Amino acid sequence: MGLLMVTMLTACTAGLGEDEPTNGSDELHPKDMHQDEQQDQDVPSENSESTEEVTIEPSTARPVAVVVSNDRAALPLVGLQEADVVFEVLSEASITRFVAIYQSEYPERIGPIRSAREAFIDVALGHDPLFIAHGFSPGAEARLYSEEIDQLNGMDYDGTLFARDSERAAPHNSFVRVDELLATASEHGINTEMMVDVPFSYTEDELQGEAAEQIVVSYQDANYAEYRFNENENVYVRYNNGDPLVDGDTMDAYEVDNLLIVEAPHAVIDDAGRRHIDFDGGGNGLLIRDGKSQEIQWKNENNQIELVDESLALGNTWVNVVPSLQSVTIYSDLERE
């Protein structure tokens, strides 16, 4: 992948928050490098070991960070497989959302798009991306419109740039296309090209560690994320609460080359249950790839999550941010069927 930068700081409730509208107003081989704002429209649904490090040249394409729902009512999701990095971050209660970072490859469309939280901005900042969300918490709104980060929001482009899928119910029906986002950003004088630093090192060596065929990340209220190793493809398949997480347009299950689980302090900050996540101090984590798991340390370097003395295999990377590694269970074989 051209980016493969896990930057600092990463679904949604069955109910609707006050910040979101309910209607139309409202190293191996890297990936290949793969308009104007539209009028109101509905979008139809579409159904051998080496000790050498691999050097990756940075791309000049500006990353795009997109907040995607992980609510059961929002399934199936669309467009996560093409993301270079996908963060999964708690918002309220056991609700998680994804912050998907795209640079080297773009899907046809991405969604459903949901609202921003401050922690989502935090995980995106180190990528210096164009930040995309549909709605915001009060704290996130203040930061987004302070010009801390370049952004486009569905509250300003509902039904146009953020197109509503006619076959889905709001608020789980907002979708975007990256080419249209970048064209609109350019029209508004926002830079759409950026030289980015790649904070990770990459290697052709297999990870040395304990067997990790199945990984379960438990959140409260019986909500859990799961990754099962496909030995034939040397990838992990993502599951939500026991079911494969399948793309709604391609009908393929999402596959993961590198899984990072990072521990960071969480604190509830308001009556709605929103959280502050402290990424400043670094901490403990797990690196999982090649069917193996290794305990790691991570640090915050220029708002990026960087691994200490560990390397990734080239490919996509999913990052689960958790309050405690005690919520993670690793099975040496596929025991939890």
pLDDT digits (tens, 9 = 90+) for 115-150: 999 999 999 998 899 999 999 999 999 999 999 999
| % of the chain with per-residue pLDDT over 90 | 66
Q: How far is it, in rounded angstroms, from Cα 78 to Cα 249?
A: 6
- Residues 216-238 have a mean pLDDT of 93
Higher pLDDT, 60 or 305: 305
Quote the pLDDT of residue 57.
Answer: 57
Report yes or no on 126 lying in a domain. yes
- pLDDT at residue 26, as a whole number: 38
Which residues are within 8 A (CB) of 189 and not within 5 positions of it... i.e. 6 or more apart?
A: none
Q: Does residue 30 belong to any structural domain of this protein?
A: no
Q: Does any domain span residue 45?
A: no
Residue 34 belongs to some domain of the structure: no
Nearest of 253, 279, 282, 248 to residue 266 by alpha carbon: 279
In a domain, 23, yes or no: no
pLDDT above 90 for 245: yes
Segment 65-70 shows an average pLDDT of 97
For residue 81, the domain's CATH number is: 3.50.90.10
The answer to whether the beta carbons of residues 124 and 149 sit under 8 Å apart is yes
Q: What is the pTM of this model?
A: 0.84
Is 162 within a domain? yes
What is the C-alpha to C-alpha distance for residues 64 and 128, in angstroms, rounded to an integer?
9
Using pLDDT thresholds of 50, 70 and 90, give the confidence band for residue 16.
Answer: very low
**Tokens 């030289």 -> residue:** 195
- pLDDT band (50, 70, 90) for residue 29: very low
Rounded CA-CA distance 241/232 in Å is: 24
At 188, the amino acid letter reads: H
Q: Evaluate whether residue 59 is within a structural domain.
A: yes
In a domain, 267, yes or no: yes
**pLDDT given for residue 54 in this prediction:** 53
User: Which amino acid appears at position 226 of this protein?
Assistant: E
**What's the whole-number average pLDDT of the chain?**
84
Residue 6 has what pLDDT? 47
pLDDT at 105 over 50: yes
Mean pLDDT, residues 6-23: 40
Find the domain containing 301 and state its range.
Answer: 1-13+53-337
| pLDDT of res. 196 | 64
> pLDDT by residue (tens digit) across 157-216?
999 999 999 999 999 999 999 999 999 999 999 999 876 665 567 788 889 999 999 999
- Distance of alpha carbon 230 from the chain centroid: 21
Hey, what are 175's tokens? 């979708």
pLDDT band with cut points at 50, 70 and 90 for residue 66: very high
Arithmetic mean of pLDDT, 15-20: 44
- Could you give the CA distance from residue 152 to residue 37 in angstroms, rounded to a whole number? 12
What is the domain count for the chain? 1
Q: How confident is the model at residue 59 (pLDDT cuts 50, 70, 90)?
A: low
Rounded mean pLDDT of 6-26?
40
Residue 19 confidence (pLDDT): 56
